[in-house]
A and B are shown apart, each in its own frame.
Chain A
């Protein structure tokens, strides 16, 4: 019974995931990324890697509430790695994530879920 339940859930998840079409997005800086599922995050280059790395432990809902400048986000990533059990990011990936967060979740909170 339990196995059947798990298998059914898996099937439903697979269906839900397939509803997401892959989409290549590019910004005015020439950065691009393939997006397949970023939850509540604003769709832009950097959203997918941010979503994938951050939602390993917590929901993207907490990200989408924030308004931090680049230094603020940098500090949060340091805290995540030093204290919260996040693995060390490659420098290139780290820059990608910081660019995304500082652009779309900066102090003016242009895509903040609370403002929508």
Chain B
């Protein structure tokens, strides 16, 4: 009997100390489209036209982590993969370290030239725009924006909540290029009755039923008109990665990742709260009142999650690392629609705390980088804890605030080290 269990367990254990293979890491980055085509046993006639770093869609579908490096694969159909915390050390997350959260299968085609986006519903001038139209008719902006999956941290829920059991790595902050959603909505002329957007993508429902959407969520019109919501066609200066929504997606910084529709084809402006797939029931919703762990909460008592709560990560040192008696500690902190005001670090299980140096975000919607130097009084095992406080005075908690579907876990990140 073949034991498949090692296939995942090897990757799901946080891979803290093992050296990454530079050869492997550089392989895909360095490989040209022609090379990848050759590997797949075919030629790619137009490979010279493809943007640098483009991962062929067909290749991505076969290898769920093509063009990614070091991610932990939670699910291969639909593809869901997170990034170990120590691989999120970059100030701006490289594309190969950006997590993947898919609800369905990749679209059949992700052709940037023929892609169209429809804006309709409660607008004066419905629009149908190509990506070239977006580039020509609107101000093209580049912004560093963070996206966190609403279920990041779900694996810590007890009793367990259903869904992908994300640990800490379903968060990223890449540099996105595109246009403001607000500018496009202004061009369409949002009518006074509009209160919500409804987003549609070209991804395919797992059942294959063309009448079903894998995911169709939306935003209150106020957030849709905010400066940190973009329609993006580039990620870190290159075409979007197929698994991250190529060729066009929304990026709604600081809100649950599901609001950042990938493979974006339509924005429906509505006079009611959008009722698309995973807007209702228990999906992306939390109880309107505090509940004990394990409580069955009726749908009508659940409210839609909006801005994500205050949170931080320690990205150096890695969990399980060996260190000297002094080390730099660093990471990122973020919160939806607010600013992080303070980041503190503890090496003694939270008994005492020291302030870290905290950067301002490089732009609205970016996470904030922080660093601190810590000294350990003697050799031994220590835990480095980080705790962010936002500008409303809210701080990361120690314990999980349980909810039925395992959302919004913003507990403090803990990293264990052996000092000597």
Contact = CB atoms under 8 A, between A and B. Distances in A.
A76 B31 CA distance: 42
A114 interface: yes
Nearest to B211: A85
Contacts of B205: 85
Interface in B144-185: 155, 159-160, 162, 164-165
A5 B41 contact: yes
Most chain B C-beta atoms within 10 Å of own C-beta, residue among A21, A64, A65: A65
Contact of B160 (A59, A68, A76): A68
A112 B162 CA distance: 13
Interface in B202-247: 205-209, 212
Contacts of A109: 160
A107 B294 CA distance: 11
A65 B164 contact: yes
Interface string A92-112: 000000000000000101001
Interface in A14-53: 19-21, 23, 39-40, 43
Interface of A is mostly: loop
Contacts of B41: 5
Contacts of B207: 57, 84-86
B391 interface: no
A61 B162 contact: no
Interface residues of B, number: 28
Given A58-B78, A59-B75, A107-B160, A20 B206 contact: no
Contacts of B1: 21, 23, 43
A114 B75 CA distance: 12
Interface stretch (B6-14, B193-201, B314-322, B332-340): B6-14
Given A58-B78, A62-B80, A85-B212, 18 more contacts: A23-B1, A40-B8, A43-B1, A57-B208, A61-B8, A62-B74, A64-B8, A65-B164, A65-B165, A66-B160, A84-B206, A84-B212, A85-B208, A109-B160, A116-B5, A116-B8, A116-B9, A116-B12
Interface of B: 1-2, 4-5, 7-9, 12, 41, 73-78, 80, 155, 159-160, 162, 164-165, 205-209, 212
Interface of A: 5, 19-21, 23, 39-40, 43, 55, 57-59, 61-62, 64-69, 72, 76, 84-86, 107, 109, 112-114, 116
